[in-house]
């Protein structure tokens, strides 16, 4: 029973396309994998090794790619938010969800939440807070600061599946959401389907994502889903709407399956 | 071989049920089992192993912090370790350990030295007891598989 888990404190499973030698993120376990725009990527933050292993497994089982770090600082480091200089030199980093423990030494989950919401690159990324304590004032404070959800520990598979199913409806938007606008991006197609005709069935089927790489497929999907001109500037509007008001979310609640 | 497998499976089932009934495990352990599959067949054992390592480390921290020979006891340091242990025991379903941590935390907050020392001793015994019982359970699993059988799903409710 004494097997060592491959990912130890602060270990970061690398999903960045950029060269990692730009910053040290404390113990990379593998070479950078090619960025897969179709998979949901979650950044999990928890100072407890046991909890990190569990949350990572929960997320992997629900088809997420996971990067697990042991502190708020490492999370900021990973996101490129840890220094003042513009991080324009980094390639796009795709993070679709940040899930963080509340009670952590150094930087609390609440403080991390604030820093993420203050950043122009990542403020649209949903942040979920986990806590072992069911304190209403704490929950309210986090929700007011823009947290997407608050999970009571110990986190269960049903909790993560629920989160995952909410993300699935946003997959189409999220894969374009937090990309930084680099010069070479100008010819890539971003797709924002405001129409609620796209619904994703949760849990069993893999999420439907639109890859902007293949121009052929994207143009036909664009025709299918878009009811407004494709325009990078429209990203902001679509993403800042709160999930509760999003037509896709409402639609999803009524009919959870793809026709 | 079938008789052996059946016997082992029965033992496994009984042992599992007793662990829940006697309050050693709660339904978070059941949740962990859901995360185990053919791709990760040792997931539960691995997580529990990490948990027990955590116990050793945290209990040692608590003991050090409660050592009066080095000066005044810093109850907040003890409390911090208790909080961490409470968290990880909760995450793996170690019900008795978690319950002890709750009392332990109260004693820390009340700065009750004797209460803390008692809790420390109990937590030490408790995690070791659980470790031993789970070892038996994992051994049974191994024996079942080695005998060519399937580890039964045990319905606790």
Please give the model's pTM, rounded to 2 decimal places. Answer: 0.70
Report the distance separating Cα A190 and Cα B113, nearest Å: 62
Report the distance separating Cα A216 and Cα B142, nearest Å: 52
CA B96 to chain CA centroid, Å, is 8
User: At residue A10, does pLDDT exceed 90?
Assistant: no
Cβ contact A1–B135 (<8 Å): yes
Contacts of A130 in chain B (CB under 8 A): none
User: At residue B34, does pLDDT exceed 80?
Assistant: yes
Mutate to test the interface with A, among B35, B91, B95 (most CBs of A within 10 A): B91
- pLDDT of the residue at A247: 40
Looking at the partner chain, which of B40, B45, B87 has a beta carbon nearest the beta carbon of A153? B87
Q: Packing angle between helix B27-34 and helix B75-92, nearest 10 degrees? A: 60
Size of interface A-B (CB pairs under 8 A): 62
- pLDDT of the residue at A252: 37
Q: Packing angle between helix A136-144 and helix A109-118, nearest 10 degrees? A: 10
- pLDDT of the residue at A234: 41
pLDDT band of residue A5 (cuts 50, 70, 90) is very low
- pLDDT of the residue at B70: 77
Report the distance separating Cα A254 and Cα B117, nearest Å: 56
Structure tokens at A207: 């999420």
Predicted complex ipTM exceeds 0.90: yes
Angle at A52 between CA A51 and CA A55, to 5 degrees: 80
Mind listing the pLDDT tens digit for each residue in B77-97?
999 999 999 999 999 999 999
Mind listing the pLDDT tens digit for each residue in A116-148?
999 999 999 999 999 999 999 999 999 999 999
Looking at the partner chain, which of B54, B91, B135 has a beta carbon nearest the beta carbon of A54? B91
Beta bridge partners of A23: none
Q: How many CB atoms lie within 10 A of CB B135?
A: 14
Mind listing the pLDDT tens digit for each residue in A66-108?
999 999 999 999 999 887 655 544 555 789 999 999 999 999 9
What is the mean pLDDT of the segment spanning B15-29? Answer: 97
Q: Packing angle between helix A157-177 and helix A49-61, nearest 10 degrees? A: 70
Closest-approach residue (CA) in chain A for B93: A154
């Amino acid at each position: 029973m004494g097997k060592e888990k491959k990912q130890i404190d602060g270990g970061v499973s690398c999903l960045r396309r950029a060269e990692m030698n730009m910053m040290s993120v404390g113990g990379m376990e593998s070479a950078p994998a090619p960025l897969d725009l179709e998979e949901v990527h979650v950044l999990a933050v928890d100072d407890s090794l046991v909890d990190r292993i569990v949350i990572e497994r929960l997320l992997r089982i629900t088809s997420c790619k996971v990067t697990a770090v042991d502190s708020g600082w490492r999370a900021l480091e990973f996101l490129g938010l840890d220094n003042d200089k513009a991080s324009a030199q980094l390639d796009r980093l795709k993070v679709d969800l940040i899930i963080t423990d509340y009670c952590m030494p150094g930087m609390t989950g609440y403080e991390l939440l604030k820093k993420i919401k203050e950043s122009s690159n990542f403020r649209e990324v949903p942040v979920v807070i986990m806590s072992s304590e069911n304190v209403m004032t704490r929950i309210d404070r986090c929700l007011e600061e823009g947290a997407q959800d608050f999970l009571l520990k110990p986190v269960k598979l049903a909790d993560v599946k629920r989160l995952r199913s909410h993300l699935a409806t946003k997959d189409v938007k999220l894969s374009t959401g937090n990309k930084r606008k680099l010069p070479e991006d100008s010819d890539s197609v971003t797709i924002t389907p405001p129409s609620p005709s796209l619904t994703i069935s949760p849990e069993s089927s893999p999420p439907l994502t639109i890859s902007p790489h293949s121009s052929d497929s994207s143009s036909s999907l664009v025709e299918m889903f878009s009811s407004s001109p494709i325009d990078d500037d429209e990203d902001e509007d679509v993403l800042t709407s709160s999930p509760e008001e999003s037509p896709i979310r409402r639609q999803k609640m009524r009919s959870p399956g793809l026709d | 071989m079938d008789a052996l497998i059946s016997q082992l499976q029965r033992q496994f089932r009984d042992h599992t049920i007793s662990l829940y009934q006697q309050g050693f495990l709660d339904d978070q352990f059941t949740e962990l089992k859901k995360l185990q599959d053919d791709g990760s067949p040792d997931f539960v054992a691995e997580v529990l192993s990490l948990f027990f390592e955590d116990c050793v480390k945290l209990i040692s921290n608590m003991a050090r912090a409660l050592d009066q020979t080095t000066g005044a006891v810093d109850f907040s340091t003890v409390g911090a370790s208790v909080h961490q242990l409470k968290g990880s025991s909760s995450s793996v379903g170690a019900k008795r350990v978690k319950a002890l941590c709750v009392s332990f935390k109260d004693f820390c907050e009340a700065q009750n030295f004797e209460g803390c020392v008692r809790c420390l001793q109990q937590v030490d015994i408790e995690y070791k007891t659980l470790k031993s019982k789970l070892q038996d359970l994992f051994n049974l699993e191994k024996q079942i598989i080695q005998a060519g059988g399937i580890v039964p799903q045990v319905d606790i409710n």
